[in-house]
Structure 1
Amino acid sequence: MDTTNHRTLAMLRAVAAGRGQVSCSSEPDLFVDGVPCCDQYAAHALTHDGLVRPGRPGLVGQRVPAVLTEAGRVLLGGTVAAA
């Protein structure tokens, strides 16, 4: 998946700003400001591509804070502080 389009970069910026949550599952859904992202394919790709990860462990189906990985920070230009 192309993780450099405007939509996915906006999703990464939202996570970097602390506005994202992911559901704990093999196909994690991304929520921004409590609202599910309209492009769940992109949300799944961000986690499977190693750009976003859960900020802490959780039960299956539970929402937990989403955080950027080092690769996600690099993709955003390295200007995002480590979580």
Structure 2
Amino acid sequence: MSTARTMQPPEGLNHRAISMLRAVVAGRAQISCSSEPDLFIDNVPCCDQFTAHMLAHAGLIEAATGGDVGDLVPAQLTAEGVAAIAPAPAAA
């Protein structure tokens, strides 16, 4: 009998979105300065820009510094982004 549990993503976020947020936390992500910010991970454009846009518009990620339109700058999590990937408290 296995005691391993399947880790479920926070409500509303799929595994890809969680992975993207974790890449931001690890300092591996850059974001373009734009009204539709694109996410780059390890200097490669993210394969799911729709999710990148959703994370930015939902206020989970943002540019860590300012820049001109089109510039790539480090990405960072917002307080909401940190809360989104925080471990859920253990059930009593």
Do both share a fold (TM > 0.5)?
Answer: yes
Shift of the alpha carbon at 1:32?
0.3
Higher relative contact order (CA 8 A, sep 6+): 1
Partners of 1:51 and 1:69 within 8 A in 2: yes
1:2-81 equivalence runs, <5 A? 3-77=12-86
Which letter maps to 2:58?
D
Q: 1:57 to 1:3 in 2, by over 3 A?
A: farther
Q: Which runs of 5+ in 2 are unaligned?
A: 1-10, 88-92
Residue in structure 2 matched with residue 81 of structure 1 by the alignment: none
The RMSD of aligned alpha carbons is 1.2
Alpha-carbon separation, structure 2, partners of 1:5 and 1:74: 15
Sequence identity of aligned pairs in percent?
56
Highest CA radius of gyration, 1 or 2? 2
- Scaled by the length of structure 2, the TM-score of the pair is 0.80
* Runs of 5+ consecutive residues of structure 1 not aligned to the other structure: 79-83
Across the two proteins, how many residue pairs are aligned to each other? 77
TM (norm. structure 1) is 0.89
The one-letter code sitting in structure 1 at the alignment partner of 2:80 is A
